[in-house]
Amino acid sequence: MAARVSRSLALAGAICALAAAQARAQELLPPGDGVFTGLTGGSAQAFASEVGKHAAVDGVFVTWGRSFESAFGQASFNHARLMLHVSTAQGYGAPEQITPRGIAVGEGDAYLLSLSQRIARSGAPVYIRLFAEMNNANNAYCAFNQDGSPRDSSHSTASFKAAWRRTVLILRGGPVAKVDARLRALGLPPVRGVIAAGELPSLPVAFLWVPETAGTPDTPANAAQSYYPGDAYVDWVGTDFYSRFPNFSGLQRFYSEHPGKPFAFGEWAMWGGDDPGWVHTLFSFIATHRRVRMALYNQGERSNGPFRLGQFPLARRAIRQELGSPRYLARAPEWGGAARARNASVASDYLQAAEAGVTRAQRLWHDRRLGWYDSRLGDRDPYPLATIWDAVPLFEALDAIDTAAPSAAHRSAIVAFANGAERYYDTGLGPIPGYAPYPGDRGRARAWFDDNGWWGLAFLDAYQATGQARYLRDAERAFRFIAAAGWRATGGGLWWNTAHPYLAGEPLAAGSLLGARLFKLTGAAPYRQRVLEFLSWADASFLTERGLYKRTSFDPTPTPYIEGTLVEAHQVLCEAGVARAGDSGTCVRARELADASYTRFADRLNMGPQFDTIYLHWMLLYGQQTGDPRWRALAREMATDALAHARDARGLFAKGWDGTPIAEHQATPGMLQTDAATLELLAWLAAVR
């Protein structure tokens, strides 16, 4: 095993060595005299809209021993250089994954080698802000408690510095024998898991040492310099700076202590009052202290958190004014105009294909006599019109097209369809009205709760595209029906339909996401409460392999479109700042479920276009929100297959994406839903970038 790892690392090292040597010579400095703008937490797109400048550096917190894959994806998605904020615990008070001494003696080498391989594969420069605010007792790796008493020897400043040096030596790479010799000179054991004749990748990395200017507690023993590992192991020096603690004299003193290093604000943010004067003072400091070359605003993960600029209109305006200077760079060199142009061109191709296909579908499936869409081409059944399940892909395709390219014509198409979709509302259903499967049904129909969820989600997308409040009301009606009529009163769980034959994952998924989005949009607490009730029941009673969810109460098989929808439900709750008592949180659960879904389904996504597009729709959004690139890559792969194999002689997407007959995918020939589902996938690929 060690030999295989060594060969893999050596190959990756050869690929990156030349770029790394050049990058490290400059400590990955911005070009010229520029200052990299940066961002940690939240939406990069929203931040750019607020401050008028794209973030050149994307900061992501990662925990030792946990997956860092989504961090690379997030930075790539945001077209930004990655900064990893590496900690040994997932926040204040969370369990410590490894001690500083454990890292120093090699207990964390497997993690470092894995990270080394991942950086090498990316080939992109990476900043590593290692063990930030190490002199803050709230952090697990601090050497002291709040009262100033020392922690054990595993957390001493000596152990901290040894852990730092070992991390730097391994991630900077080179021949293993030389790395081992340097470790021995420090009194540390050799690298574990590789052979001495091997080579570690020489990576384009720069290490940032970012303490507090005054420690917590503020004692001589806990001063920043007590943790300094030496100039040879530090590329940048920096600190974190918040408007709530405007200690500019302390900042000046700290800045002067390391005159040979570029300086970074690893975190800065508004906190407390709306103070534009503080903003201008900070930017004046940057302007007059020319070693400051990078500053990352910390939005935090919660959309309603204390650092979000929506709370500080005056400060936001001041930040926008200051960042308007050309000295503040919006892009790292590796993310220049050519990369952006390629992405825009690909999205345009998807959009054109979706628009052409929707126009064709509207012409072929629209029933002029009945004023709506038929389920199948040439349908002669007594009830030929499309059910909700038949029609929802076309509804979502229209929503996605306008999301990709907003226009009056696209919004008119949504309005025409959404108004027609209201025909499915059945006031005769009990105990409250909901959406029946067939347009015009009144009281006699068996209604499906997942239909109500999918329909409600499409109405919600229509509301966000058009701004028409009636569609928000339509979405709320769907959720109320699911919660009131679909929830099993004794024992919990969501029924498949109003006949209550069994509990099902589809209404759990669609209902949870619909409720989560309604809560995020409206802030109404009942939506949050019901969704948490759904998910708590599911985690207690409906889990199956790898922490995924069952399809039904009698079939434990995980199903892509259930899992993907539940991933996004958790992520929406995460972004809305919703925590769940007794577990690791909605953000972590979303990531765990996404990883498990990718492992389970990445190579077996062939259920059928009408199912798989639902999965890819929500995973594309999840990928956009988290920067995880796997989902766009998977969606593009499926779209490429569909464009190559799924069309018939008329140009309709009438087959499975692999070219197999549609009858093998739980559908019949000529159905609206299979053609429209593929068009929906193309449209979401154009919309979600």
Distance CA 567, CA 593 (A): 6
Element (H, E) at 527: helix 525-541
Question: Are 469 and 350 in the same domain?
Answer: yes
Strand pairing of 199-200 and 174-175?
antiparallel
DSSP states of 638-668: HHHHHHHHTB-TTS-B-B-TTS-BGGGGT--
Q: What is the mean pLDDT of residues 119-139?
A: 94
Structurally, how many domains does the chain consist of? 2
Average pLDDT, the chain: 91
Question: Are 440 and 567 in the same domain?
Answer: yes
Distance CA 399, CA 115 (A): 39
What torsion, rounded to 10 degrees, do the Cα atoms 374, 380, 381, 382 define? 100
- Per-residue pLDDT reduced to its tens digit, 574-600: 888 776 654 458 888 998 999 999 989
Q: Which of 264, 291, 320 is the last residue of a domain?
A: 264
Q: What is the CATH number of the domain that holds 627?
A: 1.50.10.20
Better-predicted residue by pLDDT, 443 or 225:
225
Q: How confident is the model at residue 177 (pLDDT cuts 50, 70, 90)?
A: very high
Q: Which of 264, 289, 319 is the last residue of a domain?
A: 264
Q: What is the pTM of this model?
A: 0.60
Element (H, E) at 265: strand 263-269
Three-state secondary-structure class, residue 85: strand
- Per-residue pLDDT reduced to its tens digit, 32-68: 999 999 999 877 877 888 899 999 999 999 999 987 8
Asked whether 506 and 451 are in contact (CB, 8 A), the reply is no
Rg of the chain's alpha carbons, rounded to an integer?
Answer: 27
Question: Are 367 and 254 in the same domain?
Answer: no
Better-predicted residue by pLDDT, 621 or 301:
621
Distance CA 399, CA 416 (A): 12
Three-state secondary-structure class, residue 86: strand
Q: What is the mean pLDDT of residues 463-491?
A: 95
Question: Are 232 and 365 in the same domain?
Answer: no
Please check whether residue 432 lies inside any domain of the structure: yes
Nearest to 421 by CA among 468, 464, 388: 388
Question: Are 345 and 253 in the same domain?
Answer: no
Q: Which of 236, 264, 292 is the last residue of a domain?
A: 264
Please check whether residue 136 lies inside any domain of the structure: yes
Please check whether residue 499 lies inside any domain of the structure: yes
Q: What is the CATH number of the domain that holds 158?
A: 3.20.20.80
- Per-residue pLDDT reduced to its tens digit, 194-243: 988 889 999 999 999 999 999 999 999 999 999 999 999 999 999 999 99
- Does the pLDDT of residue 19 top 50, yes or no? no
Element (H, E) at 63: strand 57-63
Q: How confident is the model at residue 343 (pLDDT cuts 50, 70, 90)?
A: low
Distance CA 54, CA 49 (A): 8
Nearest to 173 by CA among 13, 5, 3: 13
Distance CA 127, CA 230 (A): 18
Domain that holds residue 244: 2-30+57-264
pLDDT of residue 11: 39
Please check whether residue 659 lies inside any domain of the structure: yes
419: which 2 tokens?
Answer: 């108004």
Please check whether residue 46 lies inside any domain of the structure: no
pLDDT of residue 347: 73
Asked whether 439 and 455 are in contact (CB, 8 A), the reply is no
Q: What is the mean pLDDT of residues 513-531?
A: 94
Please check whether residue 393 lies inside any domain of the structure: yes
Question: Are 354 and 217 in the same domain?
Answer: no
pLDDT of residue 335: 86
User: Which of 291-305, 327-341, 549-563, 660-674 is predicted with the least confidence, judged by mean pLDDT?
Assistant: 327-341
Question: Are 101 and 218 in the same domain?
Answer: yes
Question: Are 18 and 117 in the same domain?
Answer: yes
Q: How confident is the model at residue 123 (pLDDT cuts 50, 70, 90)?
A: confident
- Per-residue pLDDT reduced to its tens digit, 423-440: 999 999 989 999 999 998
657: which 2 tokens?
Answer: 């994406």
pLDDT of residue 10: 41
Amino acid at 91: G
- For Cα atoms 455, 476, 607, give the angle at the middle one, nearest 5 degrees: 25
pLDDT of residue 344: 64
Could you tell me the sign of the dihedral formed by the alpha carbons of 306, 308, 309, 311, in that order?
negative
Please check whether residue 282 lies inside any domain of the structure: no
